Amino acid sequence: MNSKNNKISKAVTGGTWLLLSSTTNILTGLIFWFFLTRVIGAGGIGRASAIVSSAGIAATILSAGLSLATIRVVASRGLSGVLGSIVSSIILGIIASFLSFLLSLELHFGFTYYAALMAFLSVTSLVISQSIIGLERFRDYFKLVFACNAVKLLTGLGLAGIGLGSLAAILGYLSFPITSLIIGLIILLTLTNQIHRIHINGLIDNIKETLKLMLANYPQGLSSQLLISLGVYIFALITKKAIDTGILYVSLMAVLALAAVPGSVLTALLPSGSRGEVSSMLYKESLRIGLGLITPLIITFLMIPGKILSLINPSMSEGGKILFILTLSIVPFASVQAGIIVLNARRNLKMITSVGIIRLLSLMISLLIFVPTYGSIGAAISFLIANILPLPLSLKPIPSATLTTAELWLIQVGLWSIGFAIEPFLGLGGSLGLTVMLSVVLLHITNILKINEIADILKMVISVFNKGDYS
């Protein structure tokens, strides 16, 4: 790889434990919804996902920006910063619980008290886990995430097996932050015994610093997190259709699982980017590599969306159009995220706010326009629109990224069109195999993603397990 890619590899190596943690969250989330949907059905998942989304909205409204604030405070102030962040999260979590109760009450699906508890635990456990990152205990963070997801799977699947229905999924989700609180506190307590020496004046100062940084990072946190939960919640609120909500939610999770690949590569550049060690061109290269890696999978999703959903539950096969439209949004979604990361690294809060406002307003207005007429397909269209409209502004700080994004999107749509045209002659399996193979060839020929780059990335990831934490 050239010098630019070597710098990217170094940055990704530093964040590999974080990337593995993110991947663990995504994969276990897919497994969780896959098995629970088959056991309790799309309707049960729809009710559960609406409750989870209402808790997510409340937690996001109160704590957007808290993650980065916690990492920065803890990194600069040590465990005194941990305590200040924890107290801040308890205050914010209590308010979030009341808001989640009201939001879930409007859905008329029940489980309102569970939603309130979930919102509170989500905010408080967030600070615990992010504190571990702030202390640069990346391997410990991965262990924490792995343990939380294991408990979540065992709880959800076990309770679903004894017939608890939607409650099984909700309790499974609740078990995650509970486990995070317990194990996270144990990890933090094993690192030092200095917390008891903090005086009240120092504690108040740390609380103020945490809240100050949270507000500074609030716009980008809100625009990134609320986009997902808000879309599902508004759809459920408008339609009151549990099955359609379940299909939309699972489809969205599947798409976000793919988008997490370029998102993780870009996020790995953020720490060094904040120190001014990463050029804008390297963000473009990261976006190119990340989207290139998932292009064959995107082609597969475009070719057989209904069959992919039917693997989760046969009743979801009718949601193929939803997954198809959402898949088209992966490239613009990842590109907008790339712009937000660059702007965040440069601390350009004005631009971050602008991008976030465009995304949120586009989503809400589109949902209100399209959902009453087109249902869940309208919600998918809204998600696509909400990621296309802010694209020019978000890519402005990344040279040539607009061209790269356009090339990748055209390759994906073009190969799907070819596959659709030749399907009557080669059959679905033959056309799918040919288009996927062509995608790899085109990526290599157009220099979007060389085969040797893939090999280098794999070597870099494997080496992390031998080196341990990287700071």
Domain boundaries, the chain: 3-467
Picking from 144, 94, 149, the residue whose alpha carbon sits closest to that of residue 123 is 94
Give pLDDT, residue 120.
Answer: 93
Positions of the chain with pLDDT under 50 = 1, 194, 196, 469-471
Picking from 298, 290, 259, 287, the residue whose alpha carbon sits closest to that of residue 395 is 287
Give pLDDT, residue 388.
Answer: 93
Give pLDDT, residue 1.
Answer: 46
Give pLDDT, residue 38.
Answer: 76
**Cα dihedral sign, 35-36-42-46:** negative
pLDDT in tens, 3-44: 555 555 655 555 567 768 877 887 787 788 777 877 777 677
Q: Phi-psi bin for 348: left (phi > 0), alpha (psi -120 to 50), beta?
A: beta
Give pLDDT, residue 144.
Answer: 94
Give pLDDT, residue 183.
Answer: 93
